[in-house]
Amino acid sequence: MVLMAFPRGILKVKFAECAAEYLPLILDALRDATGKPLSVSQVASAVRGKTSIPSDSFKKSSTNGRSIFENHIRWCGFYLNKASAIVQNRNGLWELKSYGQRLHLSPQGAAKLLEEHKLSFPGGFDEDTRSPFEFQNREPICWLVGAKWSDGSDQFDRFMHEGVWIADPSNPPKDAVRRMQAGDSVVIKAAFVRKKNLPFEYGGKHVSVMRIKATGIILENFGDGNHVKVKWDRVYEPRDWYFYTVRTAITPIYSDNKKSENLLRFIFRNEPQDYSLWLGRPRRGRRRSEKPSENEYPPASSEERSVEEKAVPQVYISDAETVVREVASELVGGYPYTVEQVIADGCFLPETALSAMLAQWRVKKNLILQGPPGTGKTWLAKRLGLALIGADDRETLRTRLRVVQFHPSLSYEDFVRGYRPSGDGRLMLQDGVMMEAIEAAADEPDIPFVLVIEEINRGNPAQILGEMLTLLESTKRKPSEAMELTYRKTPGERVHVPENLHVIGTMNVADRSLALVDLALRRRFAFVDLEPAFGPTWRGWCSERGIGADLLDIIEARIGALNQTIAAAPSLGPQFRIGHSFLTPDETVADPAGWYRAMVETEIGPLLDEHWYDAPDVARAERKKLLAGIAG
């Protein structure tokens, strides 16, 4: 592909100055040919015979011998082709399409046509220095890209500083990145949903939003499928676009419909969004019965657009009725759900530990939190799920986070798929929670879904999971690894677990009645141990809820001593220690001493009785130590 380069000194006639005059003359020349295709030279001669051309326009370029005038004619043909007015046949000849036959342009109408179709090149380029051959077989593209990677890191500032855009290294869309070319526009966006503070009335429903954060022009594609060099023009006042939003990390946008054109105008020309395209209200302007004036041009019908022009990759965009639920930088209420929010909700682990858990979970796909009773396993599992998704709004809880509890009577037929009684008493093949989660995640493969399994070892995991024990493995999460299930809805049906479905379970290692977890399950899950977290963070939380320092000293010292006794007991061990959740209030405590006594008598005491079921005197003695000197 050759880039035409004209010496700046001879550019006395700019394309923008002469194109509005050339476009009508080109159409007239093709009409005068009465259906006979014309070569570019023949078209150029016809135009030359009807207007005066400055002599400088016939000077040859220094690189390929083509004149400025001929290059301008070719650019005019390029834009008429994009307007579906002409077509270039296999022999390189131009001929009118049916739309071009009836298209009569004034200079003003020609300027408007040019302006409209230059939206295909939203970053802009100079037709005086470049050749249309660069784009003859390819639409210049506006790429909408993200700056947030799957590990939660935001690369926006780095991209701005280094003048690059880099795909998420965990799953780079190499084919799409390789299609990016110098001259293409690139826009950094963040997608989320919003319910409040909308600039229009939408009945209290959620609306998908795309925040435009920066625009730029691609200068170079390095060909590695990972990154491109970009000249960024940072948008210091990010603007929010509604309804028509992109969900994927990289998506091409073409100006081939009104909604896309409105989006490109919004981004590059700072024009307001026309909400009526989505809200169903009639647009202001000319009535349908009125005809366009000669200074305007009618749009080509869909039938008049060639199949070749429409053969472009699909743009993954949601409309108003399909709200994108991804939360990249904002959610309903205004803030994303992150590890910082987990801590604010009452987690006593450091941010680094929580981030490490999420990173491990994203890689392994399956995670189990295990630990002594009262260490907040179920509580943390649900909140880690929300942090992985990035939201805690009602819609997320309803559609993207499912919770199930394993128990001795739960079966494969209940959890995966099996025959169960229907309302009319007949047995019907029905999907369980696992298959429902798989199908939901498969429907939206570019956003994360979470399945929480409480007390995963309270049932028989191998029996309940069945084939899912294999399909859950991170290396098996692809269609080529799909397997037939025990119960199939159609002959030959094969199922695989999509990569965006993340499973997190909890395991109480102190319950003697629970099944042991086999090695196959352990190999497919990453395990994280949770410890009792009595310490400064716990003390700060309790202090804010009305518990004085003296009582906190007593609690921390006595529970610490009890846990040492439990860990050293031959019949028990560290897994039987008392967790902090038993003694972490949710609300302000009016009577701290009474609250502590009640917790010991109603929750910790019965647990000690279970620990020392064969030595009740020991259990009573330990309970007495906990309550010594506490008024009540």
Residues 128-140: tens digit of each pLDDT: 766 666 555 445 5
DSSP state of 138: S
Rounded to 5°, angle at Cα 564 from 559 and 567? 120
State yes or no: pLDDT of 176 exceeds 60: yes
State yes or no: pLDDT of 1 exceeds 50: no
Phi then psi dihedrals of residue 121, to 5 deg = -125, 65
Q: Please give the pLDDT value at position 551.
A: 94
If asked whether residues 419 and 501 sit together in one domain, one would say yes
SS3 content of the chain, % helix, strand, coil (to 5): 40, 15, 45
If asked whether residues 375 and 500 sit together in one domain, one would say yes
Q: Which two tokens stand for residue 217?
A: 């022009």
One-letter identity of residue 15: F
| Locus of tokens 């860990």 | 567
- CA torsion sign, 288 to 293 to 299 to 304? positive
- Neighbour tally for 101: CB within 10 Å: 13
The residues facing 191 across adjacent strands are 210
Q: Which two tokens stand for residue 355?
A: 């981030």
Q: Of the given ranges (67-76, 145-154, 174-183, 543-552), which has the lowest mean pLDDT?
A: 174-183
Region 389-396: what's the mean pLDDT? 75
Angle between helices 351-364 and 377-389 (to 10 degrees): 70
If asked whether residues 361 and 486 sit together in one domain, one would say yes
- Distances from the Cα of 626 to the Cαs of 208, 533, 540, 598, 603, in angstroms? 53, 18, 21, 12, 13
Please, which pLDDT band fits residue 3 given cuts at 50, 70 and 90?
very low
DSSP state of 533: -
- Looking at 117, 135, 153, the residue that finishes a domain is 135
Q: How many whole angstroms separate alpha carbon 253 and alpha carbon 176?
A: 12
- Distances from the Cα of 522 to the Cαs of 290, 416, 433, 481, 621, in angstroms? 72, 20, 22, 20, 38
If asked whether residues 451 and 568 sit together in one domain, one would say no
Please, which pLDDT band fits residue 625 given cuts at 50, 70 and 90?
very high
State yes or no: pLDDT of 261 exceeds 50: yes
One-letter identity of residue 42: Q
Q: How many whole angstroms separate alpha carbon 10 and alpha carbon 56?
A: 6
| pLDDT, averaged across the chain | 79
Q: How many whole angstroms separate alpha carbon 37 and alpha carbon 43?
A: 10
Q: Which two tokens stand for residue 479?
A: 């269609």
Q: How many whole angstroms separate alpha carbon 413 and alpha carbon 424?
A: 19
State yes or no: pLDDT of 93 exceeds 90: no
In a domain, 511, yes or no: yes
If asked whether residues 551 and 573 sit together in one domain, one would say yes
519-550 pLDDT, tens digit per residue, is: 778 888 999 999 999 999 999 999 988 999 99
Q: Please give the pLDDT value at position 135.
A: 55
Q: Tell me which residue of 326, 322, 446 sits closest to 389, measured CA to CA.
A: 326
Please, which pLDDT band fits residue 256 given cuts at 50, 70 and 90?
low
Q: Please give the pLDDT value at position 239.
A: 87
- Spell out where 146-203 has E strands: 164-166, 185-194
If asked whether residues 202 and 61 sit together in one domain, one would say no
The residues facing 150 across adjacent strands are none
What is the count of structural domains for the chain? 4
Q: Please give the pLDDT value at position 294.
A: 38
Which helix (H) or strand (E) element contains residue 506?
strand 501-508
| Residue 421: CATH number of its domain | 3.40.50.300
In a domain, 151, yes or no: yes
If asked whether residues 127 and 163 sit together in one domain, one would say no
Please, which pLDDT band fits residue 464 given cuts at 50, 70 and 90?
very high
Rounded to 5°, angle at Cα 610 from 604 and 612? 105
Q: How many whole angstroms separate alpha carbon 44 and alpha carbon 338?
A: 62
DSSP three-state, residue 10: helix
Q: How many whole angstroms separate alpha carbon 62 and alpha carbon 72?
A: 16
- Looking at 135, 168, 199, the residue that finishes a domain is 135
One-letter identity of residue 425: G
Q: How many whole angstroms separate alpha carbon 358 and alpha carbon 340?
A: 13
In a domain, 331, yes or no: no
- Spell out where 26-118 has E strands: 86-88, 94-96
If asked whether residues 352 and 479 sit together in one domain, one would say yes
Please, which pLDDT band fits residue 606 given cuts at 50, 70 and 90?
very high
Q: Which residues of 241-257 are buried (b: 16+ CB within 10 A; e: fewer)?
A: bbbbbbbbbbbbbbbbe
Report residue 272 CA to chain centroid gap.
25
Q: Which two tokens stand for residue 597?
A: 């006594």
DSSP three-state, residue 197: coil
Please, which pLDDT band fits residue 152 given cuts at 50, 70 and 90?
confident
Q: Please give the pLDDT value at position 119.
A: 58
- Looking at 503, 529, 555, the residue that finishes a domain is 529
Which helix (H) or strand (E) element contains residue 597?
helix 592-599
In a domain, 632, yes or no: no
If asked whether residues 365 and 507 sit together in one domain, one would say yes
The residues facing 371 across adjacent strands are 508
In a domain, 426, yes or no: yes
Which helix (H) or strand (E) element contains residue 438?
helix 433-443
Q: How many whole angstroms separate alpha carbon 374 and alpha carbon 377?
A: 8
Region 100-116: what's the mean pLDDT? 85
Best mean pLDDT range from 111-115, 191-195, 281-285, 540-544: 540-544
Q: Which two tokens stand for residue 535?
A: 């310490």
Q: Which domain holds residue 558?
A: 536-627
If asked whether residues 399 and 478 sit together in one domain, one would say yes
Q: Please give the pLDDT value at position 336.
A: 63
In a domain, 525, yes or no: yes
Q: How many whole angstroms separate alpha carbon 520 and alpha carbon 515?
A: 14
DSSP three-state, residue 214: strand
| Residue 60: CATH number of its domain | 1.10.10.10
State yes or no: pLDDT of 342 exceeds 70: yes
Phi-psi domain of 269 (left: phi exceeds 0; alpha: psi -120 through 50; beta: other): alpha
State yes or no: pLDDT of 260 exceeds 70: yes
Residues 123 and 217: beta-carbon distance below 8 Å: yes
Q: Of the given ranges (83-87, 287-291, 430-434, 478-482), which has the lowest mean pLDDT?
A: 287-291
Q: Please give the pLDDT value at position 91.
A: 60
290-316 pLDDT, tens digit per residue, is: 333 333 334 433 333 332 222 222 233
In a domain, 1, yes or no: no
- CA torsion sign, 346 to 348 to 352 to 353? negative
Q: Tell me which residue of 395, 408, 350, 287 sits closest to 536, measured CA to CA.
A: 350
* Rounded CA Rg of the chain: 33
Q: Tell me which residue of 589, 576, 577, 569 sits closest to 533, measured CA to CA.
A: 577
Side-chain half-sphere CA neighbours of 407 within 13 A: 4
Q: Tell me which residue of 123, 53, 41 sits closest to 77, measured CA to CA.
A: 41
In a domain, 120, yes or no: yes
If asked whether residues 551 and 511 sit together in one domain, one would say no
First to last CA, the chain: 88
State yes or no: pLDDT of 479 exceeds 80: yes
If asked whether residues 90 and 162 sit together in one domain, one would say no
- Distances from the Cα of 489 to the Cαs of 88, 303, 428, 435, in angstroms? 51, 40, 11, 12
Q: Tell me which residue of 238, 251, 180 sits closest to 210, measured CA to CA.
A: 238
Residues 255 and 119: beta-carbon distance below 8 Å: yes
Contacts 24+ apart (CB under 8 A), 567-571: 569/611, 571/612, 571/614
